[in-house]
Chain A
């Protein structure tokens, strides 16, 4: 079992929701990313979602695309991202770490090697945006012996049959994409989120985290009222991009504001 299930159980027993900040490994460099990881935990993050840089991040809006490009300028790879997690684990063995990325870097490493390396580094879960359950059999088979969770997306266009199919292979939690669009889009609608979460709960007992389009304390609070966890990506990346000298302080205070907003 990964660190995710105990994490959600612990939060549930306290009546709390998971706060999941996202940022890209190596944006602006790996040393700062490591510091950001620790800072986020200190400021109330429950799970860390680390973007693996990719040359063609098709599901991302402009803010996160630019973060991938900044990381790639520093040649940050999947290997480097795993090394980053291993370094984080030297002083934190408790906070679950989820990698989010695209299929090709994992395909290039090889599924078995990836699973072995991810386990050794202390990774808890992987979400490959462009690898729906139909295409993920090899990856699932490689991850299972290591107890690493494969996280899948469910979107507003996912019908009941597909939700059932996804629920069958998913573990850790389900990731509900709050809108039709790319990360950081601006047309988030809490009513539709609520309806879809009710639909998902008919097929799975797994916790459900909601992401895409949650940009501030207010939207995070709305989501926390109806979901088990809140993923905030573009807004965090934007803080990293725009704060010049005081990145840690700025990210810390932003994450803290989200944590306070979603507190019971």
Chain B
């Protein structure tokens, strides 16, 4: 590991990743964020807290998740060997639960009785409702009215788990508005409520603690690559909405100079069409939801509507650490269009018998392009961040099939 310039020294004590990150919130939230920062600082090195987190990940989530060599798909593409990090096999079906387990343990340690969360595709909402049910905590999930329509299965799952799902009808009625509404709730209920943010964005310390909870993905993948392939991978690929699954995979490899990294944003109808959700590829730095980061905005600083085939990537911002890694050129940020994504979705399903989430299918679409440019003895690890059961209705509709 390089000692001269490590990527592990961020964020600083004010939550900054270079010029990105920070804490841009209304004054009322400064105290609870300080309280959370202190609690996390105290607990993250506490052996009992670590033991409980690790045990929950092992016995409740089912970790470690396998690192699977997609032999048939790799051969068909005819380039690098593609390994899939199977986060889709986690309890609740995606990487999101790694983080909600961690934050729920924090909530419990801080004596909070009520949990709130925002959700886009519903995966984070389900993962939050799941841990809340298990700990007997009241749970309220904010979800854009438009997302509620396209992810009805997850809405019902949350309700079954005992959560209250609040339909958000302001603004664009999607993930960003759900986050606004969760912040509005939190500012009113700070005394007894813990806000579980689902991605590596938001005010400090969220980008830090969500990264730390998700970094289990990369730690496992690194170890598994050494065990199974006898060496480190040549490249990592992950989709980026807010970017928690990508940071989780990338972070433990950042100081491995030989490992190239690709974060795949939602290219929607194409980067030139304006209808996408690719703030790093096509946006500029600004301030939203508590942090400075790359955003999709107009010339007047208004946040603009995004488009993606997948609700989970339909967000105009991105975690500040990704913005920082982009500017340092440590990670390459690229995009996959809706069409490329859909093609990869079908291909993996048919060739490997794995139905991937549409979010993860963006990573698969880029993996396919990348693998073709690499040799057969090279290795790619792609984060299969979630399973596609929740997307069956969306895909059927796009394929013109009525279920």
**Which A positions have Cβ atoms within 8 angstroms of B?**
53-62, 65, 69, 72, 77-79, 102-109, 129-132, 134-135, 152-159, 162, 166, 177, 180-182, 185
Contact call A158/B301, Cβ cutoff below 8 A: no
Contact call B24/A108, Cβ cutoff below 8 A: no
Q: CB-nearest residue of chain B relative to A212?
A: B28
Given contacts A59-B26, A72-B302, A130-B24, 7 further A-B contacts (CB under 8 A): A56-B176, A105-B301, A157-B28, A157-B29, A177-B26, A180-B28, A181-B28
Interface residues in B174-198 by Cβ distance below 8 A to A read 176-177, 180, 183-184, 187-191
A72 to B303, CA, bound (A): 11
Distance in Å: Cβ of B342 to nearest Cβ of chain A: 30
Interface residues in B272-303 by Cβ distance below 8 A to A read 285-290, 292, 295, 297, 299-303
A57 to B27, CA, bound (A): 15
Contact call B188/A182, Cβ cutoff below 8 A: yes
Distance in Å: Cβ of A73 to nearest Cβ of chain B: 12
A107 to B289, CA, bound (A): 14
A58 to B303, CA, bound (A): 13
Given known contacts A55-B171, A59-B187, is B26 in contact with A153 (CB within 8 Å)? yes
Contact call A108/B23, Cβ cutoff below 8 A: no
Contact call B303/A56, Cβ cutoff below 8 A: yes
**B144-178: contact bitstring with A at CB < 8 Å (1 yes, 0 no)?**
00000000000000000000000000110000110
Interface residues in B1-54 by Cβ distance below 8 A to A read 14, 22-32
Contact call B302/A157, Cβ cutoff below 8 A: no
Contact call B300/A77, Cβ cutoff below 8 A: yes
Chain A residues with CB under 8 Å of B288's CB are 56, 104
Q: CB-nearest residue of chain A relative to B188?
A: A181
Contact call B170/A177, Cβ cutoff below 8 A: no
Contact call B188/A69, Cβ cutoff below 8 A: no
Distance in Å: Cβ of A49 to nearest Cβ of chain B: 16
A103 to B291, CA, bound (A): 10
Given known contacts A103-B287, A104-B288, A104-B295, is B24 in contact with A135 (CB within 8 Å)? yes
Given known contacts A79-B300, A135-B24, A157-B190, is B287 in contact with A65 (CB within 8 Å)? no
Please list 14 pairs of residues, one from A and one from B, whose beta carbons are closer than 8 Å in the complex, sorted by A's number: A54-B301, A58-B180, A58-B183, A62-B170, A65-B170, A78-B300, A103-B287, A104-B288, A105-B301, A108-B297, A131-B24, A153-B27, A162-B30, A166-B27
10 nearest A-B pairs in the assembled complex, by CB-CB distance: A108-B301, A105-B301, A77-B300, A157-B31, A153-B27, A155-B28, A103-B287, A181-B188, A55-B302, A104-B301
**Which B positions have Cβ atoms within 8 angstroms of A?**
14, 22-32, 170-171, 176-177, 180, 183-184, 187-191, 285-290, 292, 295, 297, 299-304
Distance in Å: Cβ of B20 to nearest Cβ of chain A: 12
Distance in Å: Cβ of B285 to nearest Cβ of chain A: 8
The listed residue with most A CB atoms (<10 A of its CB), out of B14, B23, B189, is: B23
Q: Which of A78, A131, A155, A177 contacts B301 (CB 8 A)?
A: A78
Chain A residues with CB under 8 Å of B184's CB are 58-61, 182
Contact call A108/B286, Cβ cutoff below 8 A: yes
Q: CB-nearest residue of chain B relative to A61?
A: B184
Contact call A157/B30, Cβ cutoff below 8 A: yes
Given known contacts A65-B170, A185-B188, is B31 in contact with A135 (CB within 8 Å)? no
Q: Which of A65, A108, A159, A182 contacts B187 (CB 8 A)?
A: A182
Contact call A155/B188, Cβ cutoff below 8 A: no
Chain B residues with CB under 8 Å of A158's CB are 27-28, 30-31
Contact call A132/B28, Cβ cutoff below 8 A: no
Given known contacts A78-B300, A108-B299, A181-B188, is B25 in contact with A159 (CB within 8 Å)? no
Contact call B300/A132, Cβ cutoff below 8 A: no
Chain B residues with CB under 8 Å of A162's CB are 30-31
Distance in Å: Cβ of B184 to nearest Cβ of chain A: 5
Chain B residues with CB under 8 Å of A129's CB are 26
Chain A residues with CB under 8 Å of B187's CB are 59, 180-182
The listed residue with most B CB atoms (<10 A of its CB), out of A56, A59, A79, is: A56
Chain B residues with CB under 8 Å of A57's CB are 180
A225 to B17, CA, bound (A): 46
A108 to B25, CA, bound (A): 18
Distance in Å: Cβ of B144 to nearest Cβ of chain A: 13
Contact call A130/B26, Cβ cutoff below 8 A: yes
Distance in Å: Cβ of A165 to nearest Cβ of chain B: 10
The listed residue with most A CB atoms (<10 A of its CB), out of B25, B26, B29, is: B26
Chain B residues with CB under 8 Å of A56's CB are 171, 176-177, 180, 288-289, 303
The listed residue with most B CB atoms (<10 A of its CB), out of A61, A72, A135, is: A135
Distance in Å: Cβ of A27 to nearest Cβ of chain B: 15
Chain B residues with CB under 8 Å of A180's CB are 28, 187-191
Q: CB-nearest residue of chain A relative to B304?
A: A55
Chain A residues with CB under 8 Å of B190's CB are 157, 180
Contact call B290/A156, Cβ cutoff below 8 A: no
Given known contacts A56-B180, A130-B287, A135-B24, is B303 in contact with A104 (CB within 8 Å)? yes
A132 to B27, CA, bound (A): 6
The listed residue with most B CB atoms (<10 A of its CB), out of A77, A153, A155, A185, is: A155
Chain B residues with CB under 8 Å of A155's CB are 26-28
Distance in Å: Cβ of B203 to nearest Cβ of chain A: 9
Q: Which of B23, B27, B191, B286 contacts A104 (CB 8 A)?
A: B286
Contact call A159/B27, Cβ cutoff below 8 A: no
Given known contacts A56-B180, A156-B28, is B23 in contact with A134 (CB within 8 Å)? yes
A58 to B27, CA, bound (A): 12
Contact call B301/A58, Cβ cutoff below 8 A: no
A182 to B287, CA, bound (A): 20
The listed residue with most B CB atoms (<10 A of its CB), out of A102, A159, A185, is: A102
A153 to B25, CA, bound (A): 11
